[in-house]
Amino acid sequence: MKELFDLYIAFFKIGCVNFGGGYAMLPLLEKDLVTRRGWTTMEHLRDYFAIGQCTPGIIALNVSTFIGYNKKKLPGAIAATCGFLTGPILLILIIAAFLTNFADLAIVQHAFAGIRVCVCVLIVQAVLRLWNKSVIDVLSFLIFLVIFVLNVSSRFLPWSVPAALLVIAAGIFGILFGRTEAEHRAAASEKNAKKKKEDH
């Protein structure tokens, strides 16, 4: 029971400060759940985001459900999801009831211009930390490049590829041409051995 309550509270806090969309949540999750509580790892978080991207629903919610489930099965999933929803629900109820022109207030706009700068920086740092374990060879770098370019350029193209489709395509590509982690390690050590031989 105490663990469920902890899950609820942890995600309640994250839901209250999760400005700027699902991906902005990653640094918050890292600090609270990886560094502080040790409930999950940065690599697992990254995998949850990939799955959350190509399943229905809001990414932030999907990730909350995932972590909750892995911690305490179904009750954990419900506790984490409800915790994440509580802050936004209360806030919107207050805004709907009292503050009709909330987003037009100059002070709110300035504050959020500042917050967005910080969100940018947080996202960049999350990417830097995950890079080495995600982009491990030339092939995975190509996957990164193709998806990044398609994703960014879809704004300027007459047609756009839905992000979910890109992620699913990357998964299928991985099944066809990718390596498991064990295979990757084996290939890497073989390459090292070969190189040593050539040096001699």
49-88: contacts with other proteins (CB under 8 A) = 49-62, 65-66, 69-70, 74, 77-78, 81, 85, 87-88
- Nearest distance from C-beta of residue 194 to other proteins, angstroms: 22
The backbone region for 135, taken as left when phi is positive above 0, alpha when psi lies in -120 to 50, beta otherwise, is: beta
Per CB under 8 A, 163 contacts other proteins: yes
- Nearest distance from C-beta of residue 153 to other proteins, angstroms: 10
Per CB under 8 A, 186 contacts other proteins: no
Which residue in 181, 195, 198, 199 binds other proteins (CB under 8 A)? Answer: 181
Per CB under 8 A, 157 contacts other proteins: no
Check the CA dihedral 139-181-46-57 and report its sign.
positive
CB atoms within 10 A of CB 111: 11
Calculate the alpha carbon distances from 132 to 33, 85, 119, 121, 129 in Å: 21, 33, 22, 18, 7
Instruction: Mark the segment that binds other proteins (CB under 8 A) among 2-10, 176-184, 188-196.
Output: 176-184
- Nearest distance from C-beta of residue 6 to other proteins, angstroms: 17
Check the CA dihedral 185-191-197-200 and report its sign.
negative
- Nearest distance from C-beta of residue 198 to other proteins, angstroms: 28
> Segment 97-116, which members bind other proteins (CB under 8 A)?
97, 102-104, 107-116
Alpha-carbon span 200 to 197, nearest angstrom: 5
| Residue 28, C-beta contacts closer than 8 angstroms, at least 6 positions apart | 14, 17, 18
Instruction: Mark the segment that binds other proteins (CB under 8 A) among 2-10, 19-27, 186-194.
Output: 19-27
> Segment 115-134, which members bind other proteins (CB under 8 A)?
115-127, 130-131, 133-134
Which residue in 138, 180, 198, 199 binds other proteins (CB under 8 A)? Answer: 180
Token readout for 129 is: 């930390």
